[in-house]
Amino acid sequence: MSEPIIAPSILAADFAQLGTEVASVASGDWLHVDIMDGHFVPNLSFGPDVTSTVDGLTAQELDVHLMIEEPEKWVETYAKAGADCIIFHVEAVANEEAALALARKIRDLGVRAGFSVKPGTPIEPWLDRLEHFDEVLVMSVEPGFGGQKFMPEMLDKVRALRSTIDERGLDTVIEIDGGVSAETIRACAEAGCDAFVAGSAVFKQDDRAAAVAELRELATL
């Protein structure tokens, strides 16, 4: 089993102190950046300028989660802002063909391509398309807000992804997002997740390095 990838989500950080907040999670592997447009989800977060600022504050890879409509209009901007992986929602694109074209566009920008599914979106139609993606982000809460309760039934999607990826010898990374904490991360790892987004579970703790270390230990099988 490979090392778990811990991705603190800066959505839960204190934006008034972005520099120290980002530095406080330097022991995380990736930094997860949640982009919300107030349309695809009923909340707004930040955009390319803050993403670029964050990129300048850390050497960590930026895992950019686009919770926006018309993601195809924005991928170039986020690639320039420093994204190392760009994840779009399949619910935000017209059809499968558009999703595959967008993945190609992201890879052509030299960035890893990922897709995400909301809790109500089945994973089955995408299982034989995984070679087009570097990452799959399974939402274990309704996207839009941090601090929500983990939905354990989403681990069925993770198990389906894990067996397909293993059977076909792919290296697509399975990431889980929403309500991941010391209580829930072990079950995520056992279901087959490689990468774990954690917002409140890290930023609500005084000692962020200890929180990251605890999550890492619990996710190591």
Binding residues for a divalent metal cation, as ranges, are: 32, 34, 65, 177
Own/partner contacts of 128-132, CB < 8 Å, gap of 24 or more, are 128/164, 129/96, 129/99, 129/100, 130/161, 130/164, 130/165, 130/168, 130/170, 130/172, 131/168, 131/170, 131/172, 132/100, 132/103, 132/104
Q: Is residue 11 part of the contact set for ligand DX5 (CB under 6 A)? A: yes
Instruction: Check binding of 65 to Zn ion (CB under 5 A).
Output: yes
Q: Tokens 């803050």 identify what position?
A: 50
Q: Is 172 in the site for ligand DX5 (CB under 6 A)?
A: no
Binding partner of 195, given Zn ion, ligand DX5, none, CB within 5-8 angstroms per partner class: none
Residue 28 near ligand DX5 by CB under 6 A: no
Per-residue binder mask for ligand DX5 (CB under 6 A), 64-93, x = binder? -x----------------------------
Selecting among 14, 34, 63, 171, the annotated active-site residue is 34
Task: Give the C-alpha separation, 171 to 28, whole Å.
Answer: 21
Interface contacts to ligand DX5, rule CB under 6 A: 9, 11-12, 32, 34, 65, 141, 143-144, 146-148, 177-180, 197-201
